[in-house]
């Protein structure tokens, strides 16, 4: 057994971070190899926007369950790169929404086949072990449990 496997849940977060970093690094290597100027950290906003014509920063933050500030920073960076723009919302003229620029739409078309390949590769990877396909359900269960009671609260109850 390895160090990480021996320690079980004690290093759960470290293992997830290590896996996440490995996935992100490999995906960014693919973008670079294909000469696509895109960073995997942009994916959630880019994908969410690809599913709607326009969205507000608040909608993105709520859907991704991250802070308004974090989304604003990411959106600002994508705007500086000319990939998205801020427009008056068609849903409510009092609010701003973000939408793709022509450059962003063009990039999205390059990304779609990569995302399809990524999904297939991850499905293949998950299928390479008997428990692999159970990972997403297990993660969903843990996320649901954290919504009910934080890890901090759970640790505190055992001290």
pLDDT of residue 131: 86
pLDDT of residue 1: 57
Three-state SS across 16-79?
HHHHHHHHHHHHHHHHHHCCCCCCHHHHHHHHHHHCCCCECHHHHHHHHCCCHHHHHHHHHHHH
Give 130's Cβ-side CA count (13 Å radius). Answer: 0
Q: What is the pTM of this model?
A: 0.83
Question: Which residue, 41, 30, 44, 55, is CA-closest to 113?
Answer: 30
- Below-70 pLDDT ranges, the chain: 1
In whole angstroms, give the CA distance from residue 109 to residue 2.
42
pLDDT of residue 50: 93
């Amino acid at each position: 057994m390895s160090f990480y496997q021996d320690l079980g849940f004690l290093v759960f977060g470290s293992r997830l971070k290590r896996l996440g970093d490995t996935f992100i690094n490999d995906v960014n290597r693919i973008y670079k190899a294909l000469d696509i100027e895109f960073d995997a950290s942009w994916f959630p906003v880019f994908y969410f926007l690809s599913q709607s014509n326009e969205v507000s920063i608040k909608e993105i933050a709520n859907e991704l369950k991250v802070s308004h500030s974090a989304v604003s920073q990411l959106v600002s960076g994508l705007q500086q790169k000319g990939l998205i723009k801020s427009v008056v919302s068609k849903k409510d003229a009092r609010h701003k929404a973000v939408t793709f620029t022509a450059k962003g739409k063009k990039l999205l078309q390059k990304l779609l086949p990569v995302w399809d390949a990524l999904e297939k590769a991850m499905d293949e990877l998950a299928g390479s072990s008997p428990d692999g396909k159970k990972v997403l359900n297990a993660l969903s269960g843990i996320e649901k449990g954290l919504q009910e009671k934080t890890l901090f609260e759970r640790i505190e109850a055992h001290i």
